[in-house]
Amino acid sequence: MNHNQENWAARAAPVLFVVLWSTGFIATKSVVNNADPLTYLAIRMAIVVGLMAIIVAIARPKWPDGTGIAHSAVAGILVHGFYLGGTAIAIAHSIPAGLSALIPGLQPILTSTIANRWLGERVTPLQWGGLLLGLGGVVLILHNRPMTGEAGLGWLASVVSLISITLGTLYQRRYCNHIDWRAGNLVQYVAVTLFFAVGAFAFEDRVVHWTREFVLGLAWLAVVLSIGSIGLLYWLIRHSAATAVASLFYLVPAVTALMAYLLFGERLDAVAVAGMAICAAAVFLVNRHF
Q: How far apart are CA 177 and CA 223, in angstroms?
A: 23
**Residue 121: helix, strand or coil by DSSP?**
coil
**Residue 155: helix, strand or coil by DSSP?**
helix
Confirm if 187 and 23 have CB atoms less than 8 A apart. Answer: no
Q: Which residues, including other chains, have CB under 8 Å from residue 71's CB and lie 6 or more apart?
A: 64, 171, 175, 176, 179
Amino acid at 286: V
Angle between helices 212-219 and 37-59 (to 10 degrees): 40
pLDDT digits (tens, 9 = 90+) for 129-188: 877 887 787 777 766 665 555 667 777 888 888 889 888 888 888 898 888 888 999 999
Domain ranges of the chain: 21-287
Supply the pTM of this predicted model: 0.80
**Residue 65: helix, strand or coil by DSSP?**
coil
Residues in the chain: 290
Confirm if 263 and 285 have CB atoms less than 8 A apart. Answer: no
Percent of the chain scored above 70 by pLDDT?
Answer: 82
Statement: residue 4 has pLDDT above 60: no
